[in-house]
Chains A and B, each alone.
Chain A
Amino acid sequence: MTEENTSQAEEGVVDELLAGRWDPTEILRPVGGDETQQEIRRECLEVLGLLARSLEPREPSADLKRRLMAEVGASRKLDTRGLGAESEGMPALKRLEETLPVEVVRSESGASDESSEQLGQRWGRGQQHQRHQKWMLRLAAAMAFFALGLAGWQAFRVGGLERTVGRQAVELEAARAGLAGIGDSAEALASANAKLALLTSPGSEFCALKPGRDSRMQLARGTLVMHPDAQSWFMKVVGLEPSTEGFRYQVWYLTEEGPVAAASFGFDSVDAVVEVMTSRGPVGVQAVMVTLEPLGSEVPSSPALLYGDERMQIL
């Protein structure tokens, strides 16, 4: 080591000292020069370090170390949050062991001797279990909401169906009533068609019915329309008295062999009109008469109330 080299190294350190570049980071900076100069530089630095040893030491406050270690502990906890970025066996993994809740239990019992890795795995499993429980709860809540929604929707649908069924039942009754009316109308229409066919059929004959000389119902009148082949006939009567209980009006065909019962009918009031239509027709009819007979009578037992024997061809 030459005197010149020593002076240069000392000058370099002193220059830095005088320039105020005594930041500790300067020590971390790579230094140039040969080994001798670096050695001188290191020795100069140690001289400066020794200057502090020439001072009387001072006793720090009692709680200073406690505050320092508490802050160190807090910074270690923050460090462990970045554990995922560090590899196995790194200091942060060891520090994690001390920050885990399981470590507190372990230190109290002193029974376990798990490694940091095992603790980490346990911690991971615990986290996974908690996440699983959270998902299960969320799933259960979602299913409950879905079931409630489904039940509400079904109730709404049932209510709608009940209203529809009630409405359709009303419509069905109306349809049935309509059908009944249509049936009656069809019957009336068929009857009218038969009457029209009888009236317009070539060879049909008209016969007026009038009260007999001994009849007590002199205001009664009747009309009889029949066909020559005697297959069908039609009669309309007005002016008869209401029939009493046990008695009915009876139509008789008067033939060469005697009277033949053709039809019977009741009569409700003086103003009522009765129409009798039958397909059964007598053969060899000479006259027609109407009497009031007790039920079950097979022969005329009272004077003729209406009588007709004059026939006139319509067409």
Chain B
Amino acid sequence: MLSYEAPVEFFLMTTAKARRGGPRKSRQNPDERQLLERLVAGEPEALSELYDRYSGMLLGLSYKILHDASDAEEVLQEVFLQVWRQASRYDSSKSSISTWLVLITRSRSIDRLRSRKVVDKTVTAAHVENPRTHASPEGVEDVLTIERRNRLLDELRRLPQEQREVLELSFYRGLTQREIAQSTDTPLGTVKTRTLLAMKKLRQALQEDIRDLL
């Protein structure tokens, strides 16, 4: 993991700083673009690299949604198979690869959650539980990744509880506007306002990370 991500993150940070203040021509770093080209060309090694790079994060997300390790791993396998089959359909101008993977994983996890008809009204913070953490092949997690996660957690903690709650219910539980309102016994307009505010704050607070990704 270190051999791939450390130089990439460094490259992303330096290029992001260079871009800041001007229009961006490229929405994908060269390393990921090359990885995607190899994936589209049908190289299994590219998928293997992609797996090594993002499987831990995506499995954490799936587990966060499903609360079941076996289901989460099945979802993870489905996600990478879908990526393998639909790599050519990915448009780098719309989002980063990691966000594309996150949204695929979220979508499949919530589909599975709905099929199980599991209702879990417990709202937990994103950082609360993680019984089995991921380790890179080298056994050392990327320092920059850890720093980013800490920064993200800090920004989420800064959000008011009701705004964070609405965001997490929407993202991790796949609840609709009406379902969140019913679940939290909150007016529908208030739910929408809270979500908008949470999104605005995060977008402004995470500008650097966003630009790194893009």
Shortest distance in angstroms between A277's beta carbon and chain B's nearest beta carbon? Answer: 121
- The answer for the CA separation of A79 and B87 in the assembled complex, in Å, is 15
Shortest distance in angstroms between B23's beta carbon and chain A's nearest beta carbon? Answer: 9
Does B41 interact with chain A (Cβ within 8 Å)?
Answer: yes
Number of interface residues of A (CB under 8 A): 54
Q: Which B residues between 54 and 94 are near A, CB-CB below 8 angstroms?
A: 55-61, 63-64, 69, 72-73, 76-77, 80-81, 84-85, 89-91, 94
- The answer for the CA separation of A147 and B105 in the assembled complex, in Å, is 70
Does A85 interact with chain B (Cβ within 8 Å)?
Answer: no
Contact of B95 among A42, A52, A53, A73 (CB under 8 A): A42
**B36 CB contacts on chain A under 8 angstroms:** none
Contact A59/B149 with A46-B96, A52-B61, A64-B76 known, Cβ cut-off 8 Å:
no
Contact of B152 among A43, A53, A65, A73 (CB under 8 A): A53
**B153 CB contacts on chain A under 8 angstroms:** 54
Chain A minimum-CB-distance residue to B97: A49
Shortest distance in angstroms between A50's beta carbon and chain B's nearest beta carbon? Answer: 6
Check A52 against B81 for contact (C-beta < 8 Å): no
Check B42 against A94 for contact (C-beta < 8 Å): yes
Check A68 against B103 for contact (C-beta < 8 Å): no
Shortest distance in angstroms between B129's beta carbon and chain A's nearest beta carbon? Answer: 8
- The answer for the CA separation of A67 and B78 in the assembled complex, in Å, is 11
Check B60 against A52 for contact (C-beta < 8 Å): yes
- The answer for the CA separation of A14 and B195 in the assembled complex, in Å, is 7
Check A18 against B170 for contact (C-beta < 8 Å): yes
Does A81 interact with chain B (Cβ within 8 Å)?
Answer: no
Contact A47/B203 with A22-B106, A52-B105 known, Cβ cut-off 8 Å:
yes
Check B47 against A69 for contact (C-beta < 8 Å): yes
Chain B minimum-CB-distance residue to A55: B60
Check A18 against B100 for contact (C-beta < 8 Å): no
- The answer for the CA separation of A75 and B134 in the assembled complex, in Å, is 28
Shortest distance in angstroms between A100's beta carbon and chain B's nearest beta carbon? Answer: 15
Check A13 against B95 for contact (C-beta < 8 Å): no
- The answer for the CA separation of A315 and B114 in the assembled complex, in Å, is 146
Contact of B210 among A43, A54, A61 (CB under 8 A): A43
Contact of A56 among B80, B99, B127 (CB under 8 A): B127
Contact A18/B191 with A51-B171, A91-B42 known, Cβ cut-off 8 Å:
yes
Check A68 against B64 for contact (C-beta < 8 Å): no
Annotate A2-25 by CB proximity to B: 1 below 8 A, 0 otherwise. Answer: 000011001101110111101110
**A311 CB contacts on chain B under 8 angstroms:** none
Check B196 against A59 for contact (C-beta < 8 Å): no
Shortest distance in angstroms between B102's beta carbon and chain A's nearest beta carbon? Answer: 4
Shortest distance in angstroms between A12's beta carbon and chain B's nearest beta carbon? Answer: 11
Contact A58/B91 with A46-B213, A47-B203, A49-B102 known, Cβ cut-off 8 Å:
no
Contact A57/B59 with A14-B195, A17-B171 known, Cβ cut-off 8 Å:
yes
**A24 CB contacts on chain B under 8 angstroms:** 100, 103-104, 107
Does B10 interact with chain A (Cβ within 8 Å)?
Answer: no
What are 14 of the A-B contact pairs (CB < 8 Å)? A17-B195, A18-B177, A22-B174, A44-B203, A45-B95, A46-B214, A53-B152, A55-B57, A55-B61, A56-B134, A57-B133, A60-B56, A60-B73, A65-B55
